[in-house]
A and B are shown apart, each in its own frame.
Chain A
Amino acid sequence: MAHVRPRVDLWDELVDSDGTPRPAAAALVAHLAALEHAELQQRQDLAEIDILTMGITFTVYSDGRGIDRAWPFDIIPRIIDATEWKRIELGLLQRLRAINLFIDDIYHDQRIIADGVFPVELLGDSVNFRPECRGVDPKFGVWSHICGSDLVRDSDGTMYVLEDNLRVPSGVSYMLENRAISKRVFADLFTQQSILPVDSYTDELNRMLTSIAPDGTLDPVIAVLTPGIYNSAYFEHSFLAQRIGAALVEGADLFVGDDDCVYMRTLGGRERVHVIYRRVDDLYLDPEVFLPDSSLGVRGLMRAWRAGNVAIANAPGSGVADDKVVYAWIPDIIRFYTDSDPILPNVPTLRCFNAEEREYVYEHIDELVVKPANESGGAGILIGDRATRSELDAHIALIEANPRNWIAQPILSLSTVPTLCDGEIDARHVDLRPFILSGETSSVTAGGLTRVALRQGSLIVNSSQGGGSKDTWIVETR
């Protein structure tokens, strides 16, 4: 029988430390207990075949070329009670409202700096602050229209926000596809209990993108801008374009006309584009303003955007709030703009920018996770208790060279979810990436993408480094 074993030292999302199922997970745990291991493995195998035939892939790089890999998925879902989720949802909405107000303020009056809440030096050093964006007024004051915030739960059960991906977050297509697969694997459970649907995301996305079109546009043309087929998230770019009926364009498919409007090159000639959902980083967006050698972007795009002739989601420059050092100020930012305390806590964060906190980091580096401000995908991260002395010293030297670029946090023991590993069920660490849409109105996905570290004891959940994924069920209990 496929029993779920508890781990006393860790928080498990499905069972408590006695092995008693958490109420929202009771039906699943009972269902698993009634299955033979062979049957569970067979369901996993079938799910993997579905993923192959549905062409659900991500791209990895090896020997300088991109390889299209099947998406790694574990059939046992992660479950969150709808009551807890409601609070998380409110926390995320509050957070994004504050973050968007912050970005808008930074590119206008900088009240938060004038009031002494946010240090001006941080802005000067930020690699994601774009002076070219000063004074621009995106509709509704929203800059980060699509945000993926990473949540982790510590061993005491507290859910923390680990980071906010405000530029080009990916993963939402896998959230949707995981549900499609999961409904086949556990069809019975979906009819026996109330699991919140996730499919409305693409419709919400479409509605949000439509809402930010330049004023007076009746039937806006939306395009998803991709760096191309070799990008690791190309599957997602294509998936989202399909689901919202948008054109999937590369830089070379677009041009800016003499009228400072953006057009696509189509069979019938040129066609105006009103909204660009870009999956290309800021610096590649427009060779006229940013990297002059970029062939991924569109010459003149910033001109068109500043003139209000095209909406860009996320807005250029929105990454200013997406740096791990600015992250440390988010609780202050929330208080400053919303006049209320954060509903969701940040992971306690030491700022190496501050001399006192920096000294603490040097002394306790073997108990901390040290992170650079502006890397993604886990690059440059040091996990203190797993590093050698010389690795620790090397990182101290890096911090000393550029303190502003570094933060440190306690080593959280991420919560686990039972996972099928070589035919047995074993606990594996997870995180959760919900997606928050902001436009005329705001919304949060029901759950999000649960990423799982497939190697025992590993905390690395990135799919590029051996991580997998799970479906996330928000379950209503009474």
Chain B
Amino acid sequence: MMLLSRVADSLYWGARYLERAEDTCRLIRSYTDLVIDLPTTAVSSWEPLLAVAGDRSTFDAMHDETKEHDIVRFLVAESANPGSVASSIATARENLRTTREVLPRDVWQAVNDLSLYTVANVASGVDRRNRARFLHRVIADCQRIDGAVSTLMTRDDAYEVWQLGRSLERADMTARVVGVRAAALVESERSAAAQKSEIYEDVQWMGLLKSVNALQMYQRATRGPIEAHKAVGFLLRDTMFPRSVAACLGAIRRSLETLPRPELTLPSVERLDTLLAAVPVGEALDASTAGEELDEAMDHVLLGLGAVHDAVASTLFHPGH
């Protein structure tokens, strides 16, 4: 079934923004859990959240300090932050409103429900008291939407474009979590070992894995205590876990192979495969510069994901531009 380039573009962004909203919710949920769990000496800053999911300069222009409430409000409710949960859902709805004729009706209704819920509840969803409930509902609604897509939608170009948007955004978030939080954690483990102080690294690694919903699946896949190099390896290279960067790349590749003119889009994915294979994990992580290296490697992966987007946009959405 044919699909208009303009509609494909909106569908792609709708899917990306929904994924972004869902992933940001997971991130905030797991970080809130982590901070509540740990003694105040171990983790007190909320800045890592901003580093993963926020636009630091926009935040700094609005706030002098980095307090929990301000950061969470910025990431959940701030309309001036285009990546906040509220903005992402509003943008997703505006995009998907122009794609109703290609989406199953239940998908649109679920998007509309989510949007109504968010508008009505986002202000109260910032406080710790209501936060978990709000974030949980947004995540559950996003999964309901994905469920309706996967059980109701014909496997045509529109479906593949949806999957493409979802997978790209998902890969992006996992790469950010590894680049910011895993890198910082590796770094602090090293300095803590030198100073013989307690940083509750196992709890922190659990929190990190939870932020991309990977803890349970990691534990099934890797028996024994959590180890830094295994956790990073799992998030980057485990092709069986659907939120790992490698699994997302696999999904992106499968969608692009089905969509028109793969010869123009697939090379960007192949370059990303090569990049990913070169990221230092395992024993390499014990080296003294591991944190920095990981951070830098993830920057390259994020740029590579940007290049996939560019190839897709110029080939499929705006041909001739």
Residues of A within 8 A of B (CB): 52-55, 221, 229, 238-239, 241-242, 245-250, 252-253, 264-269, 271
Residue picked from A221, A249, A252, A266, most chain B C-beta under 10 Å:
A266
Across the interface, A264 reaches (CB within 8 A) one of B2, B113, B161, B260, namely B2
- In the bound complex, do residue B97 and residue A229 qualify as a contact, i.e. CB atoms below 8 Å apart? yes
Contact A268:B260 (CB < 8 A) given known A54-B112, A238-B100: yes
Contact between A267 and B101, CB atoms less than 8 A apart:
no
Which of A229, A248, A271 lies in contact with B101, CB distance below 8 A?
Answer: A248
The CA of A247 and the CA of B260, in the complex, are separated in Å by 19
Write the chain A residue with the least CB distance to B103. Answer: A242
CB pair B6–A253 under 8 Å, yes or no, is yes
Whether a CB of chain A sits under 8 angstroms from the CB of B76 is no
> Within 8 Å CB of B3, what residues of A?
266-268
Asked whether any CB of chain A lies closer than 8 Å to the CB of B108, the reply is: yes
Least CB separation from A241: chain B residue: B101
Interface of B is mostly: helix
Indicate if B316 sits at the interface (CB-CB under 8 A): yes
- Cα of A52 to Cα of B113 in the assembled complex, Å: 8
Task: Give the chain A neighbours of B109 by CB distance below 8 A.
Answer: 53-55
**A-B residue pairs in contact (CB < 8 Å), sample of 7:** A52-B116, A55-B108, A242-B105, A248-B7, A253-B5, A264-B2, A265-B5
Q: Is B22 an interface residue (CB 8 A)?
A: no
Give chain A residues whose Cβ lies under 8 Å from the Cβ of B4: 247, 249, 253, 264-267
Residues from 146 to 192 in B contacting A, C-beta threshold 8 Å: 157, 161
- CB neighbours of B311 from chain A (8 A): none
What is the bound-complex CA distance between A269 and B316, given in angstroms? Answer: 9
Interface secondary structure of A, over-half rule: mixed
C-alpha spacing A355/B280, complex, angstroms: 93
| Minimal Cβ-Cβ distance residue in A for B112 | A55
B residues 17-75 in Cβ contact with A at 8 Å:
none
> Cα distance A249–B259 when bound, in Å?
21
**Residue in chain A with minimal CB distance to B104:** A242
The answer to the question of B216 belonging to the interface, with a C-beta cut-off of 8 Å to chain A, is no
Which residue of A has the minimal Cβ distance to B317? A267
| A394 vs B4: C-alpha distance when bound (angstroms) | 50
CA–CA, A221 and B3, complex, Å: 12
Q: How far is A245 from B154 in the complex, measured between Cα atoms in Å? A: 13
Give complex CA distance A53, B113 in Å.
6
Residues of B near A265 (CB, < 8 A) are: 4-6, 319
Is there an interface contact between A267 and B6, defined as CB atoms closer than 8 Å?
no
Give, as a whole number of angstroms, the nearest-CB distance from A125 to chain B. Answer: 39
Beyond contacts A55-B97, A249-B4: 19 other A-B pairs, Cβ-Cβ < 8 A, are A52-B116, A53-B113, A55-B108, A55-B109, A221-B2, A229-B97, A238-B100, A238-B101, A241-B100, A242-B101, A247-B2, A247-B101, A266-B4, A267-B3, A267-B8, A267-B157, A267-B260, A268-B3, A269-B260
B98 proximal to A (CB < 8 A): yes
Are A252 and B6 CB-contacts (below 8 A) given A53-B116, A54-B112, A55-B109? yes
Central interface residue in B5, B8, B98, B101, by most chain A CB within 10 Å? B101
Contact of A242 among B7, B100, B319 (CB under 8 A): B100
Q: Which of B2, B7, B101 contacts A268 (CB 8 A)?
A: B2
Report the separation of the CA atoms of residues A277 and B196 in the bound assembly, to the nearest whole angstrom: 74
**Chain A residues, Cβ within 8 Å of B94:** 229
State the CA gap A176–B6 with chains docked (Å): 28
What is the minimal beta-carbon distance from A181 to any residue of chain B, in angstroms?
Answer: 14
B161 CB to nearest A CB, Å: 8
Residue on B nearest A268 in the bound complex, by CB = B260
Query: A252 to chain B: which residues have CB within 8 Å?
Result: 6
Query: In the complex, what residues of B have CB within 8 A of residue A53's CB?
Result: 109, 112-113, 116
- Please name the residue on chain B nearest to A265 by beta carbon: B5
User: Which residue, A241, A246, A268, A271, has most C-beta atoms of chain B within 10 A?
Assistant: A268
- A267 and B108 contact, Cβ closer than 8 Å, known pairs A229-B98, A247-B101, A248-B101: no
Question: A229: nearest residue on chain B (CB-CB)?
Answer: B98
> What residues of B have a CB within 8 angstroms of the CB of A245 in the complex?
101
Contacts of A239 in B (CB 8 A): 100
Contact A267 B100, beta carbon cutoff 8 Å:
no
Complex-state Cα separation, A245 to B3, whole angstroms:
12
Distance between Cα atoms of A238 and B108 in the complex (Å)? 12
CB nearest to A250 among chain B residues: B6
Interface centre among B4, B8, B319 (most CB of A within 10 A): B4
- Rounded to whole Å, the gap between the CB of B31 and the closest CB of chain A is 32
B8 / chain A contacts, CB cutoff of 8 Å: 267
| Docked pose: A221 CA to B1 CA in angstroms | 11
Instruction: Output the least CB separation between B269 and chain A (Å).
Output: 18
A52: chain B residues at CB < 8 Å are: 112, 116
Q: Evaluate contact between A266 and B5: CB separation under 8 angstroms.
A: yes
